Amino acid sequence: MKLKFRVLVLSCIIFMVIISLKILEPEIGSHWTGNKDLRSHDDDEVDIVVEELIKKYRVDYRYSLRESPWLIASRWVTMSNILLDNPPELGGVLREMATREIISADVGYRGTQLKLLLVLKGGQKVAFKPMWYTRDYLVTGPPYGGADRHNGEIASFHLGRILEFRRTPLAVGRKINLEKEIMPVSTPELLKTFFVKDNDTCFYGKCYYCKGPADGVCADGDVLEGTVVLWLPTHLKLKAHRHPWARRYSEGKKAPWEENDKYCTLVRQIELYKKTRLLLDIVDTAIFDYLIGNADRHLYETFAGHNDSMLLILDNAKSFGNPHVDVFDILSPLKQCCSVRFSTWQKLLELQNGILSKVLRQVLSQDPVAPVITEPYLEALDRRLKHIIVEIEHCANSYGMRSIVMVES
């Protein structure tokens, strides 16, 4: 009887496993074989998808807020996302970031690049990243070279929304009159870095690369364009981590991942990446960084004291530097780990065939400093998206779709 009972139980278990696989197979397999793959669909179907996504991701900058925008934005932040799934108040919060009175201005200490720490009326801290380059300026040299691109923060924020990552801080363009809005409320330390050059108001602030007037940024007269990035809630402290795929900045020296195609096997043995979502977050971020051309992700942050914290996708201004150069090694976490979230894979398929650029173009057209990026950068996004899909297909051919696509939140 005991043997018969064991056989019966084992048969039931096998039956349940088979049924489970059959249930999952259509869900994963349909997206693999093309149910959501628009490459073979006609223009009308693509246009319908584009119209639906534009309607979903456009924001209403005229939205009337019934309470503090800063309180609203702080409630959106969880361990998994900085932003809710398209809250109607988003346009109102971005509007206030772009127009609220500045009550204090100080040097931005953190990082290597010049920025200002501003306090808006109501007590909200924001970072202000100034404009260094014209929209069509090509940043040459190493992929991590050049100054910050303020418009890259704006484009990255909305790209993160469209990809459904929602782990990038809120960002919006703003033009500021330095003489009227900044200098009267500046700290003495910031004020002493102001100077005039060719009748333009300039400053150099304080940062690793901010040594003096030669490193300063100048307004057009008194008006300086830049990007306002919303500070995260102060009760949530950040913890910095060395990125496992950080690159070496010394010429001739290679990082371990550049010399070992099996490097991900070593990363998976690290306790931090065994029990948390972080490895899949790293793959998501690699996909995101490859799209925007950011090769400078040597650190990443999580919320301190929270084992379930997401990887926050911060500091995205080293992006959109050269639309004609694709830095393939940014995708190394994807290539070497051959793992990707099912939700990410779904979204990538949905956005192919030019849909990504069409949607992002319309969403960015609403920003106060539009156009945010030029056509070559939008075209680069579509081209790079194809590369990402090819990489995932290569992994699937090697290991099977069920082995590489993770059904994980």
Q: Which residues contact 266 (CB under 8 A, 6 or more apart)?
A: 256, 260
Q: For residues 244 and 256, what is the distance between their CA atoms, to the nearest angstrom?
A: 9
What Cα–Cα distance (Å) separates residue 219 from each residue in 108, 119, 226, 292, 325?
A: 18, 20, 10, 26, 30
Catalytic choice (296, 315, 367, 382): 296
- The DSSP-derived string for 325-369 is ---GGGGHHHHHH--EEHHHHHHHHHHTTTHHHHHHHHHHTTSTT
Q: Identity (one letter) of the amino acid at 234?
A: T
> How does 263-302 read in b/e, with b if 16+ C-beta sit within 10 Å?
bbeebeeeeebeebbbbbbbbbbbbbbbbbbbbbbeebbb
* C-alpha torsion sign, points 249, 238, 313, 89: negative
| Cα-based torsion angle of the residue sequence 141, 170, 298, 302 in order, rounded to the nearest 10 degrees | 180
| Residue 60 among the catalytic residues | no
User: SS3 sequence, 356-368?
Assistant: HHHHHHHHHCCCC
Whole-angstrom distance between the N-terminal and C-terminal Cα of the chain? 43
Q: What is the CA radius of gyration of the chain?
A: 23
**Which residues are known to be catalytic?**
296
